[in-house]
Amino acid sequence: MTMLVIVVVVAAAGIALGIAAGYWLPPHGRLARRDRPRPVRRILLPFTGEAISRRSFEAAVRLAKAENATVMPAFLATVPMNLPLETPLPVQCARGMPLLESIEQRLISQGVPVDSRVGRGRTARDALRRLLEQEHFDRIIVSADEDQHSGLGYDDLRWLLERAPAEILILRTAPEDTRQISSNAVSGHF
Partner 1 sequence: MSEAIASGESPSPALRSGERRGRLKVFLGMAAGVGKTFRMLIEGRVELEAGRDVVVGLLETHGRAETAQLAEGLPILPRVRMTYRQTMIEEMDLRAIVVREPEICLIDELAHTNAPGSEHAKRYEDVEEILAAGIDVLSTLNIQHLESLNDHITELSGIRVRETIPDAILGRADEVVLIDLTPEALLDRLRAGKIYPSERIDAALNNFFRIENLAALREVALRQVAEEVGAKRLTTELVGSREESLAADAPQAVGERLLALVEPYPGTQRLVRRAWRSAHRLGAELDLLWVRKPGQRLTAENERSLSALRQLASVLGAKMFEEESDDVAAAVVEHASRRGTTYILVGRSRPARGVARLRVPLPQRLMQRLPGVDVRIVADRSQRASADVQ
Nearer to partner 1 (CB atom), residue 115 or residue 126: 115
**Sign of the C-alpha dihedral, residues 13, 19, 23, 24?**
positive
Nearer to partner 1 (CB atom), residue 105 or residue 171: 105
Nearest to 74 by CA among 87, 56, 88, 62: 56
C-alpha 163: how far from its chain's center?
Answer: 22
Q: Residues binding partner 1: what is the number (CB under 8 A)? A: 42
Residues 6+ away with beta carbon under 8 Å from 23: none
10 Å CB burial of residue 114 (0-12, 13-18, 19+) is: buried
- Is 87 a residue that touches partner 1 (CB under 8 A)? yes
- Is 17 a residue that touches partner 1 (CB under 8 A)? no
- Is 15 a residue that touches partner 1 (CB under 8 A)? no
Question: Of residues 7, 16, 94, 161, which one binds partner 1 by CB under 8 A?
Answer: 94
Site for partner 1 in 20-49 (CB under 8 A): 22-28
- Is 126 a residue that touches partner 1 (CB under 8 A)? no
| Phi, psi values for residue 21, rounded to 5° | -65, -40
Site for partner 1 in 146-185 (CB under 8 A): none
Cβ contact 73:114 at 8 Å: yes
CB of 172 to partner 1, least distance (A): 31
Residues that bind partner 1 (CB under 8 A): 19, 22-28, 70, 77, 80, 82-84, 86-91, 93-94, 97, 100-101, 104-105, 108-109, 111, 113-120, 134-135, 188, 190
